[in-house]
Amino acid sequence: MPAIKKRVRPQQAIDMTPYVDVIMLILTFFILTAQFKAELAEDIQVKLPNSGNDTTKLPERNVMTLVINKFGDIFADVDNTKVREDVLGDAIAIAAYHPDSTSQPGWLNPANLNDKGTMKRPIITFKDREKFKKLLIDFRLSSKSNVGKDLRIVVKGDKDADIGTVQDLMDILKETKNTRFSFVTDLETDEKEKK
């Protein structure tokens, strides 16, 4: 009797080329559409005042952040690099204004801004109130033309900041018709209240 030959079935292989192509397209899409933002909080530290139990969520996109430090400096930043480059001419710069003409700006010594004593971002200074007001208006106009949306304004003030500086900023916001903004504070916790 002759031996029975088994049929040899051809090996089935899955072609991975289309899957790799799709993965590379998705990866490229996410890399090109991601927006990287330089954190203002890295360079300028402020101690926020405590407040009650308001848990209003802050906006995440299209934000203009105004920071008042304890030296009376006002820093302006936006989260969109296109808007920042359009207005300031530098994609990572921070705008700074010192409203008090009788004292020195705190940013002259980088150790006043953070614990490291170095600034990662360049500071573009504004000495004239009218130019600083124009900067705030230009940020909003550039955001409307580049993004198609108006900026939301967030104000972070150091709890040791002079009330006069805060009043100056409120006047500037009122004069530039920026009447809707959010103040950022630390929430009081039950543990802090018990102490």
So where are the chain's domains? 50-194
Q: How much is the average pLDDT of 93-106?
A: 84
More confident residue, 22 or 50: 22
Grade residue 195 by pLDDT with cuts at 50, 70 and 90: very low
Average pLDDT over residues 162-167: 86
CB 156 within 8 A of CB 43: no
Q: Check: pTM over 0.75? Answer yes or no.
A: no
Report whether pLDDT(133) > 70. yes
How sure is the predictor about 193, in pLDDT bands with cuts at 50, 70 and 90? very low
The pLDDT score that the predictor gives to residue 22 is: 92
Instruction: Please report which confidence band the pLDDT of residue 194 belongs to, taking 50, 70 and 90 as the band edges.
Output: very low
Average pLDDT over residues 33-54: 61
- Reduce the DSSP state of residue 185 to 3 states and report it: coil
Query: 151 φ, ψ to 5°?
Result: -80, 145
Residue 16's pLDDT is 84
**Tokens (6 digits) for 139:** 């940020």
Query: Residue 24: its pLDDT value, please?
Result: 92
Write the DSSP assignment of 67-116 as a string of letters. Answer: EE-TTS-EEEEES-HHHHHHHHSSSS-EEEE---TTS--GGGSGGGT-SS
DSSP, collapsed to helix, strand or coil, labels residue 170 as helix
Pick 54 or 75 by higher pLDDT. 75
Instruction: Name the pLDDT band for 40 (thresholds 50, 70, 90).
Output: very low
First-to-last CA distance in the chain? Answer: 98
With a pLDDT cut of 90, the percent of the chain lying above it is 11
